[in-house]
């Protein structure tokens, strides 16, 4: 303990000296970072890692090093006028009354609804007995510990009980309790394991299916991040009586869940690993083994049950997805028939049986199109949306309410009720945000990647903006895990526009915008395609007169953090500043930390000799070159990140500071009481966003508006 205090005091003193130096001269020096070489042999290739010691978050020297780095970061960012402007604007734009889509129980009239008042820091979970009744608060995390939040809420089918999870500091690992809704009493029931998730209540409301991971000590060390299994809990019984109903004994990465159909007649068993899964099916209450519907982990399958018919969406032999139909009495694959055939160019995201019709939600050129079908598979019409954007459909087959949410770059997230008979959207809720989004315009352009593949990209900017080669441009991106980046409303990005900038959003390979083949073209040995797509976007923006490297900023988080990290080491000449959030950067060893081995399906693993070659070829941490003039970088990690360990951020900062000690600033923020998505409260999120955007604005010479 004495040694720890000495280290902290020495580094703290150094940090204070650095702050004084910055204030007086505008110069700064990084905290000293020791090097402890560790050499590993990967299939005949020796790699030395000088910063392996920074992986241990509990080491007192690591803690002191992080504190020193953060003091340096704050000494540079906290003085920026852009940060004060950003905080003031976000406190206006983010503090308004907001509510979610109402959810009615299956058996009865009770309704559940999330709301957030202007002054509240977190969302509140409410209920009312029927449409005309007053709202009653069920869960108000604003009265809990500041780090606690709601981590899921699942009412019973009759609305008598509520299973709800509580998370801590954004850790995404909810622990569930059960409430009697009428009395507000929290029942003594507890569940097994950790990272619990209640999936579906039984038809008689006597219990529910849930998924959970094993506790430490129940499996070999480190494997508590894996082995998620499905359990059945009966109300009033101890957790030790919960029955494991679906699991796997050999593959620890598989996720398991069980859901009950809306009519309460059938159960669907799902075993999944990202974009591939298996489906089993049986009648509720049956003690027979479930019937295999789709096995072999050969494709992605999702199931909806309507009037004793099973609708199966899949990309099996259909990269853009199609829908099959089967009788519940004969669910096996050999009895499937085509219900909605694969579209020739648009990806089918999902289907939503609601209000007696089947809503098919497509992506056309990365924005939403909704088509309506009847239960015979006949196409009826498209739903007309307000503009090009992103939309979702929610509802139940047996309820007349069909809810459509819509958002776009300059259209705040809005809830509509869809009137099928009148074919019209009826406004239900639109937030009152103090910004004139109509001043902005959006266009979609196409450019060629390095190998000639056409890539789509959205450009959002103020009307009348001059294309003079001098616009401050924010280039975002993701490109992975079959995730689509579609037009959506973002107040923080609108502030970039308000300050006179342009936001560019390319649809990179590896994402899901154009189907399974588009995803596969950016994974494993083809991951470099994603980086090439992103680099080509920057080149196109420069060549077409929108900006220049000195005014180009990049932003990416998680897999997008890997993206901007790869950009930084492959083309440091093309941009001025980068925000690299909760990133994967040491790709040679990423799979050894926490649950990250589940991502081997996407990236591959260095444990395989052939996969090691292409992973090592692009791993950003391993391609930092001494003496290179790198862009300014702010790299962030989160202490409670349930997905990406912040060690990636620590090690990358240390390596880049070593490589370019007198160049552009490379800064670290390791955020406490925060998870993969940042802080829990609005106040913390505002502070964190202000840090990021002010850093980027300052680096590309973008003053705060007066």
Q: What pLDDT, on the 0 to 100 scale, is given for residue 123?
A: 98
Q: What pLDDT, on the 0 to 100 scale, is given for residue 437?
A: 79
Pairwise CA distance, residues 475 & 85, whole Å: 22
Superfamily (CATH H level) for 2-92+435-699:
Alpha/Beta hydrolase fold, catalytic domain (3.40.50.1820)
Pairwise CA distance, residues 362 & 373, whole Å: 13
The secondary structure of residue 140, as a DSSP letter, is: -
Q: What pLDDT, on the 0 to 100 scale, is given for residue 162?
A: 98
Pairwise CA distance, residues 139 & 577, whole Å: 41
The secondary structure of residue 449, as a DSSP letter, is: -
Strand-pair partners of 244 = 231
First to last CA, the chain: 50
CB distance 702 to 501 below 8 Å: yes
The set of residues, in sequence order, having a beta carbon less than 8 Å from that of 228 and lying 6+ positions away, is: 195, 211, 212, 213, 254, 255, 256
CB distance 348 to 359 below 8 Å: no
Pairwise CA distance, residues 637 & 146, whole Å: 20
Q: What pLDDT, on the 0 to 100 scale, is given for residue 26?
A: 54
Q: In the numeric block, which tokens belong to residue 586?
A: 């040491």
Q: In the numeric block, which tokens belong to residue 660?
A: 């370019």
Beta strand 473-476 pairing with 502-506 = parallel
Active site residues: 558, 676
Which helix (H) or strand (E) element contains residue 1? none
Give Cα separations from 473 to 34, 87, 540, 705 (angstroms): 36, 21, 12, 16
Strand-pair partners of 456 = 446
pLDDT in tens, 237-255: 999 999 999 999 999 999 9
Q: In the numeric block, which tokens belong to residue 286?
A: 């049956």
Residues of the chain with pLDDT under 70: 1-26
Give Cα separations from 191 to 163, 239, 253 (angstroms): 11, 5, 21
DSSP 164-188: EEEEETT----EEEEEETTT-PBPS
Pairwise CA distance, residues 606 & 603, whole Å: 9
Q: In the numeric block, which tokens belong to residue 519?
A: 């995803």
Q: What are the helix and strand counts (H, E) for the chain?
A: 11, 40
CA angle 42, 44, 45 (to 5 degrees): 60
CB distance 151 to 133 below 8 Å: no
pTM listed for this prediction: 0.95
Torsion, Cα 395 399 400 405, to 10 degrees, reads -10
Strand-pair partners of 581 = 557, 636
CA–centroid distance for 465 within its chain:
31
Dihedral angle sign, alpha carbons of residues 148, 150, 151, 155: positive
The set of residues, in sequence order, having a beta carbon less than 8 Å from that of 578 and lying 6+ positions away, is: 553, 554, 555, 564, 567, 568, 631, 632, 633, 634
Pairwise CA distance, residues 174 & 180, whole Å: 19
Other residues' Cβ atoms within 10 Å of the Cβ of residue 96: 14
E-strand ranges in 519-654 read 552-557, 577-581, 632-638
Residues in the chain: 706
């Amino acid at each position: 303990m004495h040694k720890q205090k000495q280290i902290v005091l020495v580094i703290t003193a150094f940090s204070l000296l650095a702050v004084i130096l910055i204030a007086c001269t505008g110069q700064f020096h990084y905290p000293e970072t020791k090097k402890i070489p560790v050499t590993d042999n990967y299939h005949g290739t020796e790699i030395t890692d000088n910063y392996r010691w920074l992986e241990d978050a509990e080491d007192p020297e690591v803690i002191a090093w992080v504190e020193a780095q953060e003091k340096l970061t704050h000494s540079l960012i906290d003085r920026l006028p852009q940060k004060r402007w950003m905080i003031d604007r976000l406190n206006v734009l983010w503090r308004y009354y907001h509510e979610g889509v109402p959810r009615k129980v299956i058996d009865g009239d009770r309704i559940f609804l999330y709301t957030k008042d202007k002054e509240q820091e977190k969302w509140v979970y409410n209920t009312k007995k029927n449409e005309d009744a007053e709202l009653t608060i069920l869960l108000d995390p604003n009265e809990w510990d500041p780090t606690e939040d709601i981590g899921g809420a699942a009412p019973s089918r009759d609305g008598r009980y509520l299973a709800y999870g509580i998370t801590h500091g954004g850790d995404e690992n909810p622990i569930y309790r059960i409430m009697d809704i009428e009395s507000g009493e929290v029942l003594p029931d507890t569940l097994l394991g950790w990272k619990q998730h209640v999936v579906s209540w039984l038809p008689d409301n006597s219990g529910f299916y849930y998924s959970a991971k094993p506790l430490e000590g129940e499996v070999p060390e480190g494997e508590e991040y894996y082995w998620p299994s499905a359990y059945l809990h009966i109300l009033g019984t101890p957790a030790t009586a919960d029955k494991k109903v679906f699991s796997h004994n050999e593959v620890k990465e598989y996720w398991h869940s069980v859901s009950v159909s809306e009519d309460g007649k059938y159960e669907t068993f799902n075993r999944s690993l990202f974009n591939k899964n298996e489906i089993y099916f049986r009648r509720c209450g049956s003690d027979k083994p479930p019937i295999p519907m789709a096995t072999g982990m050969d494709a992605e399958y999702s199931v909806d049950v309507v009037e004793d018919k099973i609708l199966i969406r899949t990309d099996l032999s259909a990269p853009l997805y199609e829908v099959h139909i089967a009788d519940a009495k004969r669910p096996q694959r050999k009895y499937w028939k085509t219900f909605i055939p694969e579209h020739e160019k648009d990806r089918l995201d999902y289907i939503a049986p609601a209000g007696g019709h089947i809503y098919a939600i497509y992506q056309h050129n990365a924005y939403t199109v909704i088509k309506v079908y009847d239960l015979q598979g006949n196409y009826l019409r498209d739903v007309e949306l307000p503009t090009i954007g992103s939309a979702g459909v929610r509802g139940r087959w047996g309820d007349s309410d069909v809810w459509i949410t819509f958002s776009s770059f300059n259209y705040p997230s809005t809830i509509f009720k869809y009137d099928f008979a009148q074919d019209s959207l009826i406004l239900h809720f639109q937030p009152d945000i103090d910004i004139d989004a109509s001043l902005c315009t959006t266009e979609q352009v196409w450019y060629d990647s390095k190998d000639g593949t056409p890539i789509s990209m959205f450009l959002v900017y103020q009307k009348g903006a001059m294309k003079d080669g001098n616009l401050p441009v924010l280039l975002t991106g993701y490109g992975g895990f079959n995730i689509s980046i579609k037009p959506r409303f973002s107040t923080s990005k609108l502030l970039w526009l308000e300050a006179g900038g342009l936001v560019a959003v390319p649809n990179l390979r590896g994402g899901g915008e154009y189907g399974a083949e588009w995803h596969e073209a950016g994974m494993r040995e083809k991951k470099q395609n994603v980086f090439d797509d992103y680099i080509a976007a920057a080149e196109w923006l420069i060549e077409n007169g929108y900006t220049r490297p000195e005014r180009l900023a990049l932003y990416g988080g998680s897999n997008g953090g890997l993206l901007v990290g790869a950009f930084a080491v492959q083309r440091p000449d093309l941009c001025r500043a980068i925000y690299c959030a909760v990133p994967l950067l040491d790709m040679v060893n990423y799979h050894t930390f926490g649950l990250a081995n589940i991502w081997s399906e996407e990236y591959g693993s260095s444990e395989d000799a052939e996969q090691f070659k292409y992973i090592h070829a692009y791993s950003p941490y391993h391609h930092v070159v001494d003496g290179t003039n790198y862009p300014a970088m702010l790299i962030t990690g989160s202490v409670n990140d349930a997905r990406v360990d912040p060690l990636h951020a620590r090690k990358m900062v240390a390596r880049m500071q070593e490589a370019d000690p007198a160049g552009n600033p490379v800064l670290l923020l390791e955020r406490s009481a925060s998870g993969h998505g940042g802080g829990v409260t609005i106040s913390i999120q505002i502070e964190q966003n202000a840090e990021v955007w002010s850093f980027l604005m300052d680096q590309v010479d973008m003053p705060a508006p007066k």
